[in-house]
Amino acid sequence: MIIYRDKKYGFYELFNEKNGTLIRSDVNGFEPKMRSFPELLDVGIMGHCSHTDICEKAGVDCYQKAKLKKTPHMSAENFETIARQSSGRTFQIALGGAGDPNKHPQFKEILEISRYYRIVPNLTTSGVDITDYEIGLIKQYCGAAAVSWYSRLKIHEETNPATIDTSNKLIQAGCITNIHFVVSKETIDEAIYRLNNNIFPEGINAVIFILYKPVGQGKREKMLDARDQRIKALIHATQEKHAFRIGFDTCFTPAILHYGENISPVCIDACEAATFSMYIDSTMNCYPCSFGIWQTEISESLHNKSIKEIWEGKLFSEFRERNYEYCGQCEKKIMCQGGCKIGLNINLCEK
């Protein structure tokens, strides 16, 4: 158990390294609005991807535009710089970037570094060409692994065997295995159908629904509309009993507040970008959120400043202060904090 005291904002946190449980105290009866250092670091160790054609065939609209990237992967030395600065303050590092982190040439070393500095590494993978050796490393070092759900149901048959096989291999190896399911206009019906019929691999820990975003290769015409009643159906389907946990990324928070019924406030988080988490790409550029990587005006480099200096600096501070007029005096704003501050127009509420 790790105990963290945030002296600046006046709260405590307890983090269980074995199961990922995080308990955060309140501040005078209210949830803390931010932290003096990121609790979670999303680190894009992958600078490019070796199987973009496979992803395209699966209908994946890569938000990193990995097909066009030739950027070098992050070095283990640079990763250690991040881990060293974060030790004792950051609980978890989510490994990702423009490719599967398990294909990083220094994958084992990166996992060892993270654990050495007592930070739990997690990762997201497509599962394409994953090896037993990589699965063994994930089992040994990672808190959890998430499989990007690239398979669609066609006449009740799965279209992407790698998605299914990797999920089952991770489960059989004893890894805490989650599913990341991207929800768009094209996939929401399937998400509801899978939930209602329990069509996910047996033994998974959780299904996390990720809101489709018009970033990178993402297309605005595939975005969900705030008035789409299928959103309500999806949220209601998650409230039925399942053999696994269910969650949403915080981009869904405005929709949950709008369509959800009898959902405890303690189960709902506002966007954590620049308040509890940040993204660092393979070349050491820091952004409030990984979906903001195309907005260089909100990024700073770790080659010039420390994580703490960037976190407390002008660009991140200005990002936190962004607001939207359409929120007005909405009573739910206190919980969603105005939603997405990147300006993607993805807030699924009718304000």
Could you read off the pLDDT of 245-257 as tens digits, one per residue? 999 999 988 888 8
40-46 and 92-97 beta bridge pairing? parallel
Higher-confidence position of 169 and 59: 169
Q: What is the spatial distance between Cα 326 and Cα 344, in angstroms, rounded to a whole number?
A: 14
Res 325: pLDDT: 60
User: Residue 144 — very low, low, confident or very high, per pLDDT cuts 50/70/90?
Assistant: very high
What is the DSSP-derived secondary structure letter of residue 333? H
Q: What pLDDT does 173 receive?
A: 97
Section 214-239 average pLDDT: 91
Confidence of residue 209 (pLDDT cuts 50, 70, 90): very high
Best-predicted range by mean pLDDT among 51-60, 65-74, 128-137?
128-137
3-state SS class at 84: helix
Provide mean pLDDT across the span 320-325. 76
pLDDT above 70: residue 52: no
Burial class (CB in 10 A: 0-12, 13-18, 19+), 150: buried
Mean pLDDT of 39-62: 84
Phi, psi of 14 (to 5 degrees): -120, 125
Query: Average pLDDT of 118-133?
Result: 95
pLDDT for 328 beyond 70: no
3-state secondary structure of 225: coil
Output the pLDDT for position 258.
80
Distance CA 321, CA 302 (A): 23
Residue 83 has pLDDT above 80, yes or no: yes
Stretch 45-60: mean pLDDT: 79
CA–CA distances in Å: residue 129 to residues 75, 100, 230, 254? 22, 10, 34, 37
Low-confidence winner among 125-139, 173-187, 202-216, 259-273 (lowest mean pLDDT): 259-273
CA nearest to 228, candidates 199, 191, 194? 191
Residue type, 75: S
Can you read off the two tokens belonging to residue 71?
A: 């950027």
* Mean pLDDT comparison of 8-22, 57-71, 256-270, highest-scoring range: 8-22
- The rounded percent of the chain whose pLDDT value lies above 90 is 63
**Cα–Cα distance for residue pair 312/317, rounded to 1 Å:** 7
Q: Tell me: the pLDDT tens digits for 286-305?
A: 999 999 998 899 999 999 99
Confidence band of 65 (pLDDT split at 50, 70, 90)? confident
pLDDT of residue 344: 84
The span from the CA of 188 to the CA of 171, in Å, is 25
Measured from the Cβ of residue 309, the count of other Cβ atoms closer than 10 Å reads 14
Say what the pLDDT of residue 290 is: 93
* pLDDT at position 32 over 70: yes
Q: What pTM was computed for the model?
A: 0.92
State how far the alpha carbon of 86 is from the alpha carbons of 36, 97, 119, 284, in Å. Answer: 12, 19, 8, 14
For CA atoms 255, 97, 90, 291, the dihedral sign is: negative
Higher pLDDT, residue 65 or 249? 249
Q: What is the mean pLDDT of residues 107-131?
A: 96
Backbone angles phi, psi at 116, to 5 degrees: -60, -40
- Under the banding of pLDDT at 50, 70 and 90, the label for residue 21 is confident
Q: How confident is the model at residue 116 (pLDDT cuts 50, 70, 90)?
A: very high
Q: Six-digit token pair at 8?
A: 């600046």
Task: Return the higher-pLDDT residue of 338 and 276.
Answer: 276
Alpha-carbon gap, residue 296 to 302, rounded angstroms: 14
Tokens found for residue 38:
């990121």
Tell me which residue has tokens 């294909």: 103
